[in-house]
Structure 1
């Protein structure tokens, strides 16, 4: 059922695209490729310039979405920065589709960098999305009321009622602003904007859509002279249907509705110019802004690197995705070029200077390269070094073959410019993983299939006048060889994609969930001892699976609860490249299994590892670390600790440190103390982020013992690394009827001992939810965590734990949890709590 829900959206998009292409095939069955190209070539320069100017004005109006949204939440940012963020987000969302997801994620990345909280970014995205739809609904509704719907369109008889309904929705939004108190919808309280703010939303949205319609209107043939109102009615209906279809950019759906609306079915004199105008419209309104946005990002990155501004790291993190998107576009261009007819005058030149065999091979290889670029784009997004090198080689080769197959200097220029932009960015693609180990999301697979489907349709459209026969596959000619070349190139490209898919499917699968072997623990121990954080010793518990990098220079420890694959802490190791690669490897392993990757209790020093792969960060508490160099019992502030230690020393308590080799003989005594402690506290063993009383675990670490005479009254196993960076404890148990203050005594003696051994820090562990702020402007998670911290004593002693650790005057350092974006957060939090608590009952029981 879960898999069906994941597949439903992409499969619906593919189905809608197939239906749209089939509808286009039926509507334009009398049109041929030459007629469309002839109209495109005949569009005057004045019309093209006017379309570009209107497009520029349209994207300028789109920046008002963000400016009004920021004003509605009381935030102000520099106008140039807001305009840049708005333009980039809309350039990509308009071209790629899925506007809420694409523009929302881009805004999130940029606005968080600009100081907005997660809640504020969500409010900005919601404001912009509502403005977008309110404007479209208002424009469509008013247009349907004023202009009759062409009877050729489906549901034309419902045009007037539909217009009334669509107009009422924005009016209801305006009327809702008159209600002063928040509305209650189920569990949520919603405050509607004032009528003035609502009116701004509607007007900006309507003006935006009106300008988009004007761009296409100036490109349409003169035969459509029924006025802008009639054209606008068809345009807004086509755009709405295209948006509802969820096909990227409404590709095919928008074109089919436009042809039907203008009654172009079977009328080649009208259908060919409309298709030509639509093709130019997509280039001007979608492709040119997309390229401009990419240039702006690259320019900003270069400037940021020179000035070392705050923007540089942020744009650096986005660049691989930008290059991946452009590579995807380049691959599609090569496939579409191979599917269409070459210009006769250029072929005449090639016939004089090239052998036919060179032309045939170049055409075939150009399409194969197009398919490979679609695949390599995913590798670039994953920052693979091999994908970077292969993409550079194939871009240059694709440019050369584009010239050899038809002197297509336009696409050769595009490929060359992309290669030149990509060449100096090698440092961004640092991963050494195999390309065949890269996971392809369902959305990515759908995109590749969609491009291949469109290329197939273009072959059928471009050569519909050619009768198919088996002999076509073996025809080679300068004059009549266009159709055979296109068919061979399409099959070769599809075969290349299928071979890659087959090689990926038969690759070894390393998915497993089992306790580590003794050999793996032995391999992990040197890495643990050299790692700065002593908490890496939790791997020795043996309850978490260990995932090593191929060179065995780093590992992550993880466990699985529900769909959450949760690592404990950061990757363990001192090799930064190996640690970075492990984050990617773990992420891809989770994707193959359909799980959610979660990195629990990670440190601020490694946050870039998780931001790089697109994860979100939640602060989950603060960790207390005592600087041993300055720790002592002198002064008035340490009087209570000093008196406690002195009293217990007089009462005969003494601490002993024993090596791991000596722990086995002490296990019976340790068990007696542990069982008594569990009974006295009425708690059960935790796991994952804490150790448990497991003999095989305890014999792997040194032990601190507290004796009173000949009786063992307390113990703690020690985490000690070889670098003397940090010392810590895990399992701490004492007799319930032992001397009062015994834990204070143990901590003080351990810190003094560790200072004498040359350790720099003593780690007291994390105080969950500490340091979270319950302020009005704070993110929702912070406010919820602060509420639990202040009022959750029934379930866990949050405040008491922080207060106890404060008596040792530690330095508090934040700890985070890296989680994937989306709506899975509540389930992830429940899974993590269950994992630590030893089951759901452990979340509410001690």
Structure 2
């Protein structure tokens, strides 16, 4: 509506924000890859005398009692991890069903521990669960902050106390800093507890404020975190060889240092970094000759503490999916939302297992069995193809996270093929069981993978590229480590043998995996990029007309302005209208159309188009009914105001509260004012007379035409819809173009302009007469438009954006009449419904909002001018 405007945001400098974003997105992953390469080089140097057979032999020699004790400690550790979420929810005064919290905590921590990809998988699971359970984005953030603090406070406390009490070998780098490091780490949790005792008011640092927890809660955070890390150390300790020098205290000192190094590196799961520090620590403390058993213990630790919980989580998914097949109402929406990222993470693990298996030596006894009934060419082909399948699974995992139907089908096929190849290449029934287990879990979940978009259109974030690079890098290292006793020759590539063909098979498999990822990258590079589209022509507007007329929101008529590009779904089942300002691709409103599948797919397609172009996806003025469309693709939501909608069924001018409006309408009717609805075919002839009214109104208000979320006086635009005209005698004195839906769900107006010298109260007269007319025509709602920043709270616990918006709403009258606009619309007794902006995570929100303001105002200059 014409009275609306954008929040007046200061213009931001784009270049520094762009550089900061690039550094944040690319710098971290590049550093992690560098640290991984350094760790693998260190492992190779420290284990130069160790053979793969020694490591495998130690794993097979572990006692059943030690393995059972390690499993028991693992179960206890994951039970303790659920306390992070329990106490985090308690800290914000929220309680949720115990079964849900325990299940989601177990699944999310199984992934974050194994993959170190909390933002990609675990974070996505936790965010969607808590939002769908009724928590606000701010509350979710506070829970995540609580759990993260507990995690690090516990690690700092355990590391600091251990280093104070237990000396570490002098040959370890920075060993001379043991006491200073221990003091600093110990002071961190002590300082946190002291802060909780001393601080009674929020601590303010610039624009940020933080309230310390109660002393009991602070102590609880430290103790839970320390217990979690202590149990994790216990799992590895019972698997270590008995001949290691030193007791549990000595072991714990090296363990916590290795874990801290792995976490700081940001390498997925600390893979390679953790092992390198552990081997260096024990190698420097009199354990020479035990490198093989120590690496074997570390491999067993990875299997028990990381892979076993993943397998258990998979069984839970299978169980719930089977129940879903029998009873469609069993699986709740929050659990359905976490399945795609869950399967994506597990597919990533299975791909890594196949690549690691292809890079190592097969068990000789099993190869002897194969030799009796499987031809050598079939074994060679199976070994090569299993690594190819592994790399394809790494790539398809991203497609599963994006809910692609093609990725689902191909993943199922490749999991079955991978299981067959695992058996044919070395009777690796453990790998085959894992792949079959995932295939069984994935098979009944087809309904969660509904997108029929191309695999080659999926974008890969830096985190995903880092994960794939890390897995491939580790597989490469494993090849050279496992077969370092084999002297390299050019003829090695063409050797085929049951007994001595391990190294050639591993090399060929590694090249096959590399070829897959290079071909996929090349296909993405040479695919035709869809250029930025021009403004819609008459043919495109004609395609959009049936969709916007049948849509339940009259706002869809803004597509007819012609200043926004249109993105259509296949078969014209839905469309999105959008424009681009800077890096921001801003869609106006929700996808338009009645086909929910097409609307959902359009949101995915729009986001992926933005990512391919390096842009930021935004959806402006979205409705509560469609919020799941944006949460599903990982976008965040910010409330930007409330929309006033009058329920016409109960609308009338009776009662004391309507006395003023009733008097205004009656007086102007006696003065000869009348409303006429002019059909669209008669509007062009009337436009010259209405143009004079529009020009006079703009001169009086000292404003210029807006755009994007508002229409403008344009003959082509105004001729596409009916016009409401207020006449005084034979002269028009006011007008408004009408947005009318064929379903009669909603009626609204866009431009509302009147002669400055016209009768007082003419806009009230126009609104009232339009509502009376719409009610008589059978419309359910009359939309009065949005009141920017209305309904935002300024409470201490509210998000920063909400508090800022509430402050501007209350004190920003010198810039824009926020309160006045809300009061004007409120006198018609509307129902206020929140409106949001959906933004992609990790984007510069202030700059994106400035881009939106620039779009509406017609440029940055219009942001600061009327």
For this structure pair, what is the TM-score category when the shorter chain's length is used for normalisation? Answer: over 0.9
Change (3 A) 1:394 1:129: same
Structure 2 match to 1:555: 575
Structure 1 match to 2:5: none
**Structure 2 unaligned regions, length at least 5:** 1-18
The answer to whether residue 597 in structure 2 is matched with residue 541 in structure 1 is no
Find the aligned partners of 1:709 and 1:412 in 2 and give their Cα distance. Answer: 86
CA contact (8 A) 2:33 2:466 kept: yes
Q: Shift of residue 174 of structure 1?
A: 2.8
The answer to whether residue 712 in structure 2 is matched with residue 687 in structure 1 is no
Deviations 1:416-437 (CA, angstroms, capped at 9, x unpaired): 1111111111111111111111
The answer to whether residue 87 in structure 2 is matched with residue 87 in structure 1 is no
Q: Shift of residue 804 of structure 1?
A: 2.4
Could you say what secondary structure the match of 2:289 adopts?
helix
CA contact (8 A) 1:516 1:542 kept: yes
**Structure 1 unaligned regions, length at least 5:** none
Could you say what secondary structure the match of 1:623 adopts?
strand
Q: Shift of residue 135 of structure 1?
A: 1.9
How many equivalent residue pairs? 846
The answer to whether residue 641 in structure 2 is matched with residue 621 in structure 1 is yes
Find the aligned partners of 1:210 and 1:99 in 2 and give their Cα distance. Answer: 21
The answer to whether residue 540 in structure 2 is matched with residue 520 in structure 1 is yes
Change (3 A) 1:71 1:605: closer
Please report the TM-score for the alignment, with normalisation by the length of structure 1: 0.95
Structure 1 match to 2:170: 151
Q: Which of residues 361, 370, 386 is equivalent to 1:341? A: 361
Structure 2 match to 1:470: 490
Could you say what secondary structure the match of 1:767 adopts?
strand
CA contact (8 A) 2:120 2:463 kept: no
Q: Shift of residue 287 of structure 1?
A: 1.5
Find the aligned partners of 2:287 and 2:661 in 1 and give their Cα distance. Answer: 94
Change (3 A) 1:664 1:552: same
The answer to whether residue 40 in structure 2 is matched with residue 42 in structure 1 is no
Farther off after superposition, 143-152 or 308-317? 308-317
Find the aligned partners of 2:286 and 2:383 in 1 and give their Cα distance. Answer: 32
Find the aligned partners of 1:101 and 1:185 in 2 and give their Cα distance. Answer: 29
Find the aligned partners of 1:188 and 1:426 in 2 and give their Cα distance. Answer: 44
Could you say what secondary structure the match of 2:571 adopts?
coil
Farther off after superposition, 404-413 or 610-619? 610-619
User: Superposition pairs for residues 72-111 of structure 1, below 5 Å?
Assistant: 72-97=91-116, 103-111=122-130
The answer to whether residue 407 in structure 2 is matched with residue 384 in structure 1 is no
Q: Shift of residue 474 of structure 1?
A: 1.2
Could you say what secondary structure the match of 2:407 adopts?
helix
Q: Which of residues 614, 618, 625 is equivalent to 1:598? A: 618
Q: Which of residues 219, 224, 238 is equivalent to 1:199? A: 219
Find the aligned partners of 1:774 and 1:298 in 2 and give their Cα distance. Answer: 45
Q: Shift of residue 290 of structure 1?
A: 2.6
Find the aligned partners of 1:124 and 1:437 in 2 and give their Cα distance. Answer: 35
Q: Which of residues 361, 368, 376 is equivalent to 2:381? A: 361
Structure 2 match to 1:11: 30
Change (3 A) 1:79 1:510: same
The answer to whether residue 182 in structure 2 is matched with residue 163 in structure 1 is yes
CA contact (8 A) 2:268 2:470 kept: no
Find the aligned partners of 1:399 and 1:797 in 2 and give their Cα distance. Answer: 66
The answer to whether residue 649 in structure 2 is matched with residue 664 in structure 1 is no
Find the aligned partners of 1:646 and 1:63 in 2 and give their Cα distance. Answer: 66
Select the structure with the greater relative contact order (CA < 8 A; seq sep ≥ 6). Answer: 2
Change (3 A) 1:669 1:576: same
CA contact (8 A) 1:304 1:312 kept: no
Please report the TM-score for the alignment, with normalisation by the length of structure 2: 0.93
Change (3 A) 1:318 1:104: closer
Q: Which of residues 277, 280, 285 is equivalent to 1:260? A: 280
Structure 1 match to 2:155: 136
Q: Which of residues 26, 37, 44 is equivalent to 1:25? A: 44
CA contact (8 A) 2:314 2:437 kept: no
Farther off after superposition, 108-117 or 394-403? 108-117
Q: Shift of residue 112 of structure 1?
A: 3.1
Structure 2 match to 1:698: 718
CA contact (8 A) 2:555 2:739 kept: yes
User: Superposition pairs for residues 392-431 of structure 1, below 5 Å?
Assistant: 392-431=412-451
Structure 2 match to 1:60: 79
Find the aligned partners of 2:323 and 2:802 in 1 and give their Cα distance. Answer: 35
Find the aligned partners of 2:99 and 2:348 in 1 and give their Cα distance. Answer: 29
CA contact (8 A) 2:458 2:608 kept: yes
Aligned-CA RMSD value: 2.5
Deviations 1:676-716 (CA, angstroms, capped at 9, x unpaired): 11121222322211112223322222222222223221111
Structure 1 match to 2:819: 799
Q: Which of residues 735, 743, 749 is equivalent to 2:763? A: 743
Q: Shift of residue 238 of structure 1?
A: 1.1
Could you say what secondary structure the match of 2:838 adopts?
strand
Could you say what secondary structure the match of 1:162 adopts?
helix
Find the aligned partners of 2:488 and 2:579 in 1 and give their Cα distance. Answer: 57
Find the aligned partners of 1:110 and 1:505 in 2 and give their Cα distance. Answer: 36
The answer to whether residue 198 in structure 2 is matched with residue 179 in structure 1 is yes
Farther off after superposition, 178-187 or 492-501? 178-187
